[in-house]
Amino acid sequence: MLEGLAPPEPASNVRAFDTPNDAGGSITVTWSPSSAEAERRPVTYEILRSSSLDPALVSVGSVVAGTTAFEDASVYDGVEYSYVVRVHDGLTADADPTAPVRSSGQLFHRGRVNVLVGVVLFTAFLVLFIQQAKGGKELYVRRIAGLEAVDEAIGRATEMGKPILYVPGLSVIQDVATIASLNILSRVARKAAEYETRIVIPNRNPVVMPVCQEIVREAYTDMGHPDAYREDDIYYVTFSQFGYVAAVDGIMLRDRPATNFFLGMFWAESLILAETGAGIGAIQIAGTDAVAQLPFFIAACDYTLIGEELYAASAYLSREPLQLGSLKGQDLAKLLIATLIIVGMIFTTFGWPRFVGLFAAG
């Protein structure tokens, strides 16, 4: 049936190389398409390999027309491999074998150089401003209404003789938002201890729970009221997301806390918690870095810490020069990023997109 048909043109520019930025065990083969593709013939590319261990050609995979790369993840590091790309369109044509190549794991991810430069630069900004703060330089930090209201909110609970409810988010301990929340809890607990006000912390994550207990216990001890600390007020509820929400809503409706703190990572439950709190008339301070949940907190809470304000809270509340210095470092980094965005817009507009490519994630 295929008599009279010419075999397809083989793939050209076939290259095999160690797959970059990986842990080893992988070789990438690339090629330029056969001219049969341009003639709209049904083409597939079969990749065959031979090795220093087995010189016979073995098929390792095939890809359809339009594909010009194949990653062979079934190789051993240190063994030499050579590849042949075979074009099929009814008939076959082999390209020349590639030069032998070995795979190995890399010691540095070159695609992440931009991240490394950014982190080093940002850390340098932080250290610079922290040094300035150490030297006694006065640093201005803008007013954050949600944090200004923390003392007032705790005072209100004290005056009303009602507890404070603190929800440290629903995420795991290694989530930076949870850590930021725990840093704020430390400040809130000290103030609550000073006023001898109960602080109730239901936990969704069992690893976060003992950390909360330790933070609050230390705060009460430091403030000279170790006897006022009640471990039973900081407890584990359930890992179930909406089971936890049901429990916290129940606590709000039964105990009627005067003040609610929702600080950390939240998902779909944010509005259910905040609206229940609004329903009982509690003063509510929320904060999260979950962009999708911010509108819900803004609608239902008295004060909301938006994104970075959650991370700035500990520094803002402590007023320690070292901590404030880090905030100024963040500001400088933001200025740099804003400048780079504007420069990137100009470069892209004038047809130089490679500048923006420098910042692509590896």
- Give 48's contacts (C-beta < 8 A, 6+ positions apart): 57, 58, 59, 60, 83, 84, 85, 86
Which position has the token pair 């000279």? 224
- Nearest approach, Cβ of 59 to other proteins (angstroms)? 27
Residue 20 and residue 103 in contact, taking contact as beta carbons nearer than 8 Å:
no
Task: For residues 180 and 168, give the distance between their C-alpha atoms in angstroms, rounded to a whole number.
Answer: 9
Residue 9 and residue 53 in contact, taking contact as beta carbons nearer than 8 Å:
no
Burial per residue of 157-192, b for 16 or more beta-carbon CB atoms within 10 angstroms, e otherwise: bbeeebbbbbbbbbbeeebebbbbbbbbbbbbbbbb
- Nearest approach, Cβ of 280 to other proteins (angstroms)? 14
Task: For residues 328 and 130, give the distance between their C-alpha atoms in angstroms, rounded to a whole number.
Answer: 9
Closer of 14 and 301 to other proteins (Cβ):
301
Closer of 83 and 129 to other proteins (Cβ):
129
Closer of 42 and 111 to other proteins (Cβ):
111
Q: What is the CA radius of gyration of the chain?
A: 30
* DSSP code at position 318: H
Closer of 8 and 287 to other proteins (Cβ):
287
Return the SS3 of 30: strand
Task: State both tokens at 335.
Answer: 């200025």
Closer of 239 and 352 to other proteins (Cβ):
239
Closer of 82 and 304 to other proteins (Cβ):
304
Closer of 73 and 207 to other proteins (Cβ):
207
- Give 2's contacts (C-beta < 8 A, 6+ positions apart): 90, 91
Closer of 12 and 221 to other proteins (Cβ):
221
Residue 288 and residue 266 in contact, taking contact as beta carbons nearer than 8 Å:
yes
- Nearest approach, Cβ of 148 to other proteins (angstroms)? 19
- Nearest approach, Cβ of 130 to other proteins (angstroms)? 7
- Nearest approach, Cβ of 171 to other proteins (angstroms)? 13
- Nearest approach, Cβ of 159 to other proteins (angstroms)? 22
- Nearest approach, Cβ of 84 to other proteins (angstroms)? 28
Using CB atoms within 10 Å of the CB of residue 193, give its burial: 0 to 12 exposed, 13 to 18 middle, 19+ buried: buried
Residue 161 main-chain phi, psi, to 5 deg: 65, 30
Residue 47 and residue 62 in contact, taking contact as beta carbons nearer than 8 Å:
yes
Return the H-helix or E-strand segment holding 157: helix 145-160
Closer of 6 and 291 to other proteins (Cβ):
291
